[in-house]
Each structure stands twice: as structure tokens, then as C-alpha cells.
């Protein structure tokens, strides 16, 4: 087995560089092994109550719009072999599911209106097992975030409401570039997203709060009018557009 240099094994303060000048925002020295070892995809889980309305819409829209942005706008990422190794996985689940329920027709209508792909959907209950490999947990409300974190306390710094995550990422685009700034290198999209999410967790509480905390919550449209479904879908898509836009700006720094 090839020997490792002592400096490659040393954990350094956040942003510290190795002697060869390579720094990692998570504070760990990047070695040549990092480049050779396949990087696990960045795993996103989106949560609502029943996993039939809000979270399936957000799952489809985020997966579609983020992939299209990465392919078209992110430096060196458009040439990635997505079919061979996808850098992102987006799934959804619910805190109080009923396996007998299906996505309402209004959800399909809104996905079609938003130009998102319409794929088969299976209701998934939120469990510790479902949360076991999550890098970023996005919920529709603050109560759902609290429920999820109770099941997986390790996610306390990785869990946000959709609106909250959009606001934090937007604030990060105004930060100066320094040694702790996540960088997109060699098309390593998953690592960039993971390190950006970690930094977002550290900025919680540093972004000015909205006038009302209820701004962080997106209402449940289930059994409501088509107009409510449209309004909720627009709120979800708008927050996702803010997230994708901020991530694209950060990837180009």
C-alpha cells in the first residue's frame, strides 16, 4: 500500500492550506487520494407532511432546475457524464404519510405548468433510515424541520426550511472570497454542494430575520382550490430559483 505523508494526515483549522497550497473549507487537508476516490453524490431530502403535494413538487423542480443550471452555466461541469455518475440525488418524504393516498391531479397540473418532469411517485414516510445518508434536509415548515431533527439529531446544522435555505445562500453571495470559500474544482459538484451546505449551516442566525417567522413556512394546499395549488407551487419554485441562482453565482467565484 502506498505510504502517506504525515502532512496529508493532519487535520487543520478551517480553510488551512497544505504545503502544496490546497485548502478545504471543511478544514481537512485534501490529498491525492481525494481525486482518485469516487465522490458520493450530494443527497438532498425534501420533507412535507403527506409527501403528496409540496415535497414532490419541490423534489421535481429542484432536481430539474439545478441539473440544468449545472450543465449549462457552472464552470467545467457541463461535460460531466451524468448518466454514469450523478453528483446529486434529490428525494422526498413525509412526516405523517398515508400509503393509500396519491399525488392529487392538481400537483400533476402544477408540475406540467412549471415545466418539471412528471415521474412515478411512491409515498415515503420519514424515518431514521431515510435520513441516514442525508447531506441537506429541506422542509416546508419549521415544525417539519423540528420533527425531522428529532429523528436524526446529527442533521440539526443541515436542516432548513426551503425559504430559509434560499435566504442564507443569497446572503453568502455577498461574502468576500477567502480561504474558507467553497470552490468548484475539477467538476466536483457533489463536494462543492456539500461544503457550501456546511457553510450555510454555520451562517444560521447571521442573516437578518424576516418581519414574521411565518415567512419560513409554505402552506399545505391539500384539498384546497386550484388557485392555492398554483400559489404554493409558485412559492416553492421561486425559492428554488433563488437557491439555484445563488449556487450558480457561488460556483463561478
- pLDDT above 90: residue 29: no
Pull the grid cell for residue 78: 457541463
Q: Kindly provide the residue ranges of all beta strands, DSSP E only, lying in 129-188, ordered along the sequence.
A: 136-139, 159-161
User: Which pLDDT band, with edges at 50, 70 and 90, does 42 fall under?
Assistant: very high
- Cα–Cα distance for residue pair 107/129, rounded to 1 Å: 27
- pLDDT above 90: residue 188: no
| Domain boundaries 43-251, corresponding CATH code | 3.40.50.2300
Which of 114, 136, 82, 53 shows the shortest CA–CA distance to 237? 114
Q: Is the distance from CB of 161 to CB of 152 less than 8 angstroms? A: no
Helix axes 105-114, 54-73, angle to 10 degrees: 20
- Cα–Cα distance for residue pair 240/44, rounded to 1 Å: 13
For residue 34, CA distances in Å to 99, 121, 143 come to 41, 35, 38
- Cα–Cα distance for residue pair 241/151, rounded to 1 Å: 29
| Sheet containing strand 136-139, strands side by side | 88-94, 42-48, 136-139, 159-161
For residue 157, CA distances in Å to 67, 237, 243 come to 25, 24, 18
SS3 104: coil
Pull the grid cell for residue 155: 442533521
Lowest-confidence region among 44-48, 75-79, 100-104, 177-181: 75-79
Read off the pLDDT of residues 163-178 as tens digits, 9 standing for 90 and up. 999 999 999 999 999 8
Percent of the chain with pLDDT over 70: 81
Amino acid at each position: 500500500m502506498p505510504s502517506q505523508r504525515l502532512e496529508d494526515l493532519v487535520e487543520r483549522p478551517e480553510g488551512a492550506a497544505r504545503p502544496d497550497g490546497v485548502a478545504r473549507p471543511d478544514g481537512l487537508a485534501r490529498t491525492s487520494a481525494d481525486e482518485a476516490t469516487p465522490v458520493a453524490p450530494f443527497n438532498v431530502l425534501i420533507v412535507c407532511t403527506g409527501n403528496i403535494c409540496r415535497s414532490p413538487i419541490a423534489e421535481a423542480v429542484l432536481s430539474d432546475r439545478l441539473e440544468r443550471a449545472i450543465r449549462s452555466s457552472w464552470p467545467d461541469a457541463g461535460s460531466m457524464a451524468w448518466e454514469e455518475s450523478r453528483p446529486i440525488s434529490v428525494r422526498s418524504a413525509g412526516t405523517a404519510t398515508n400509503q393509500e393516498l396519491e399525488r392529487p391531479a392538481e400537483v400533476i397540473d402544477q408540475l406540467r405548468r412549471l415545466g418539471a418532469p412528471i415521474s412515478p411517485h411512491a409515498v415515503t414516510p420519514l424515518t431514521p433510515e431515510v435520513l441516514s445518508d442525508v447531506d441537506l434536509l429541506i422542509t416546508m415548515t419549521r415544525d417539519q424541520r423540528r420533527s425531522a431533527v428529532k429523528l436524526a439529531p446529527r442533521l440539526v446544522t443541515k436542516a432548513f426550511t426551503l425559504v430559509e435555505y434560499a435566504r442564507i445562500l443569497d446572503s453568502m453571495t455577498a461574502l468576500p472570497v477567502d480561504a474558507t470559500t467553497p470552490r468548484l474544482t475539477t467538476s466536483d459538484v457533489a463536494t462543492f454542494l456539500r461544503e457550501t451546505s456546511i457553510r450555510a449551516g454555520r451562517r444560521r442566525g447571521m442573516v437578518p430575520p424576516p418581519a414574521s417567522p411565518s415567512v419560513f413556512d409554505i402552506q399545505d394546499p391539500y384539498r384546497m382550490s386550484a388557485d392555492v395549488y398554483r400559489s404554493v407551487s409558485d412559492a416553492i419554485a421561486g425559492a428554488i430559483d433563488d437557491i439555484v441562482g445563488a449556487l450558480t453565482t457561488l460556483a463561478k467565484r
